[in-house]
Amino acid sequence: MDLGLAGARAIVVGASRGIGLEVARGLAAEGATVAMVARGAEELERAAATVEGSVLTETADTTDDASVRAMVQRVVERLGGVDVLVNAAAPPAGGGPVPGLTEITDSAVLGAVDTKVVGYLRAARAVAPHMIAQGSGRIVNISGMFARRTGSIAGTLRNVGVAAITANLADELGPYGIGAVVVHPGTMVETERTPGLVADRAQQSGRSEDEVRAELGAPSSMGRIMTAEEVADVVVFLASPKAVAVTGDAVGAGGGNRGQISY
């Protein structure tokens, strides 16, 4: 299927690794010009070198509104506009022990919300005037399955917050031809950090790496961890004009959420 992304101008925030990098690869493969954005310039340049297609790099800190606005303005000046925004700049959940109620700190919760919820809002707010002016655009926010399950107070707060922002964006921007959708990957996604994490857990628990992987994949209906590329395939479609009928909604991309019904 031709997704209609040839010639599209895309911004992927959080593009130096993981899902964001795979999304950049997917969009570029479809013929889009991709502005890859992250905080670290060196890591970002190394990531960009692995992407086949038309890409450029820009640094920005999503916790700083001025930084985000300046980045968007530079991209618009270089590309002439922006058709797609993908927000993926947030530390992944599940990377370490999750603090309980009595251990979690205000700073940890506020930091998670500032980076993922308000950070996504800053990027959407900066691109919206450009999309409104042209009468079209797609915004895809990467959230996570902690929006639909307990187990991490900060994870749930930030992921539900992203879903809430996305629904509001869809309602406000829809009349201008702009769609917004939130994607929930699984609580664990196969990225460049996964082998080390699995090895550490195996060593600490005395189990095999296969046993650890089976445990991590158990919450999904498919019984395995989805790869970043598999999640990115869903994101690229939702970022395309072919997905115009999908807006304001949450799309699960974690291989299913075992034992739950979402409607």
Segment 126-172, tens digit of pLDDT? 999 999 999 999 999 999 877 677 777 888 888 999 999 999 999 99
Mean pLDDT of 111-139: 96
Ranges assigned E (strand) in the chain: 9-13, 33-38, 55-59, 84-87, 137-142, 178-185, 189-190, 226-227, 250-253
Q: How far apart (Å, rounded) are the C-alpha atoms in residues 184 and 180? A: 14
Kindly report the CATH number that applies to the domain delimited by 9-187+230-249: 3.40.50.720
Can you give the pLDDT at residue 65?
Answer: 97
Tell me if the pTM is above 0.85.
yes
- Could you tell me if 170 and 179 are in contact, meaning their C-beta atoms sit under 8 angstroms apart? yes
Q: How far apart (Å, rounded) are the C-alpha atoms in residues 122 and 72? A: 10
Segment 174-223, tens digit of pLDDT? 999 999 999 999 877 887 777 777 788 878 888 888 888 888 887 888 88
Judge whether residue 93 has pLDDT over 60: no
Task: Spell out the domain ranges in the chain.
Answer: 9-187+230-249
**Among residues 95, 78, 85, which one has the least CA distance to residue 120?**
85
Separation of first and last alpha carbons in the chain: 27
Segment 54-75, tens digit of pLDDT? 999 999 999 999 999 999 999 9
Residue 262 pLDDT class (50, 70, 90 cuts): confident
> What is the distance of C-alpha 118 from the center of its chain?
14
